[in-house]
Structure 1
């Protein structure tokens, strides 16, 4: 494992999954493939770009303060009785 480069997305955990299909621009697919290659170089394990997408989305959502605030507000709002 190389420590010269640090990527925002670290090694991938093992999780159960649900299949989801989406369409993206060719330029985004190229960026995902490039990121996948850098991830493989950094962590010594080849990973297809499609495997990285859920982890990227999870990291994005975890870092989105607006989403987290909305999540907390929703959880603490009493339901009308």
Structure 2
């Protein structure tokens, strides 16, 4: 376990829609490392694919330009 918290906290349970996307191998490796760290931090095994929607949602929630358009929920 780490002493600090990750920007992405424990994952909430949500309904999902399947999407497929491609990314560079280096990004996939980083996502896998982040997933491993997330699992150690919060005591729950998670794979990179499960993290991606939560990372994107967090990014969009904090994007001031996106919020300024009024397009967010």
Measured against the shorter chain, the TM-score band is: over 0.9
C-alpha distance in 2, partners of 1:25/1:3?
27
Q: Which structure: greater helix fraction?
A: 1
When the two structures are aligned, how many residues end up with a matched partner?
A: 71
Unmatched tracts of structure 2, length 5 or more: none
What do you get for the CA RMSD once the two structures are aligned? 1.2
> For residues 39-54 of structure 1, what are the structure 2 equivalents within 5 Å?
39-54=38-53
Q: Which residue matches 1:63?
A: 62
Residues 6 and 38 of structure 2 are in contact (CA less than 8 Å); yes or no, is this contact kept in structure 1? Answer: yes
For 1:3 and 1:27, the matched residues in 2 are separated by 24
Larger Rg: 1
Compute the TM-score of the two structures, normalised by the length of structure 2.
Answer: 0.92
Measured after TM superposition, the shift of residue 3 of structure 1 is: 6.2
